[in-house]
Amino acid sequence: MPRLSYRKALNRALADELARDEEVFLLGEDIRVAASAVTAGLLKRFGPERVRDTPLSEQAFTSFATGAAMAGARPVVEFQIPALLFLVFEQIVNHAHKFPLMTGGQCAVPVTYLVPGSGSRTGWAGQHSDHPYSLFAHVGVTTVVPATPADAYGLLVSAIRCDDPVVVFAPAGAMEVRANVSDPAPVPLGRGRVHRAGDDVTVVAVGHVVHDALAVADELAGEVSVEVFDPRTLYPFDWDGLLASVARTRRLVVVDDSNRSCGIAGEIIATVVEQVRLHAPPQRVTRPDGAVLPFASVLDRAVQPGREQLRHAIHHVSKDG
Partner 1 sequence: MTGVDPVRLYRTVRLIRRFEERAIELVRSGHIVGGIHPYIGQEGIAAGVCAALRPDDVVAGTHRGHGHVLAKGADPARMMAELCGRVTGLNRGRGGSMHAADFAVGVLGANAIVGAGGAIVTGAVWARRRRGEDLVGVSFLGDGAVNEGMLLEAFNLAALWRVPVLFVCENNGYATTMPVADSVAGSIPARAEAFGIRASVVDGQDPAAVHATTAAALARMRAGGGPEFLEAQTYRFDAHHTFEHTVRLDYRSAEEVERGRSRDPVRIAGSRLSATDRANVDADVEAVLDAAVAEALAAPEPDPATALEHLYASGLTARTGGG
Number of residues that bind partner 1 (CB under 8 A): 45
Nearer Cβ to partner 1 (209/268) = 268
Could you say whether residue 241 binds partner 1 (CB under 8 A)? no
* Span of 64-72, 114-122, 220-228, 298-306 interacting with partner 1 by CB under 8 A: 64-72
Alpha helices by DSSP H, listed for the chain, are 6-20, 42-46, 58-70, 84-87, 89-90, 99-102, 133-139, 149-161, 209-219, 239-249, 264-275, 297-303, 307-319
Rounded to whole angstroms, the Cα distance separating 247 from 277 reads 8
Could you say whether residue 90 binds partner 1 (CB under 8 A)? yes
Q: Which of 128, 131, 208, 211 is catalytic?
A: 128
Let me know if 128 is a catalytic residue.
Answer: yes
**Which residue in the set 130, 164, 200, 256 belongs to the binding site for partner 1 (CB under 8 A)?**
164
Q: What are the respective helix, strand and coil percentages of the chain, to the nearest 5?
A: 40, 20, 40
Cβ-contact 143, 234 below 8 angstroms: yes
Could you say whether residue 99 binds partner 1 (CB under 8 A)? yes
Could you say whether residue 232 binds partner 1 (CB under 8 A)? no
**Which residue in the set 24, 26, 65, 317 belongs to the binding site for partner 1 (CB under 8 A)?**
65
Could you say whether residue 112 binds partner 1 (CB under 8 A)? no
Q: In what order do the strands lie in the sheet with 233-235?
A: 51-53, 24-28, 74-78, 112-118, 166-171, 142-144, 233-235
Sequence-separated (6 or more) residues with CB below 8 Å from residue 301 = none
- The DSSP symbol for 199 reads S
Closest approach of partner 1 to the CB of residue 24, in Å: 11
Could you say whether residue 1 binds partner 1 (CB under 8 A)? no
Could you say whether residue 306 binds partner 1 (CB under 8 A)? no
Could you say whether residue 61 binds partner 1 (CB under 8 A)? yes
Cβ-contact 23, 72 below 8 angstroms: yes
Cβ-contact 143, 166 below 8 angstroms: yes
Nearer Cβ to partner 1 (186/294) = 186
Cβ-contact 310, 216 below 8 angstroms: yes
Could you say whether residue 47 binds partner 1 (CB under 8 A)? no
Residues marked active site are found at: 128
Binding site for partner 1 (CB under 8 A): 25, 49, 54-55, 57, 59-73, 75, 90-91, 94-95, 99-110, 140, 142, 162-164, 190, 236, 274
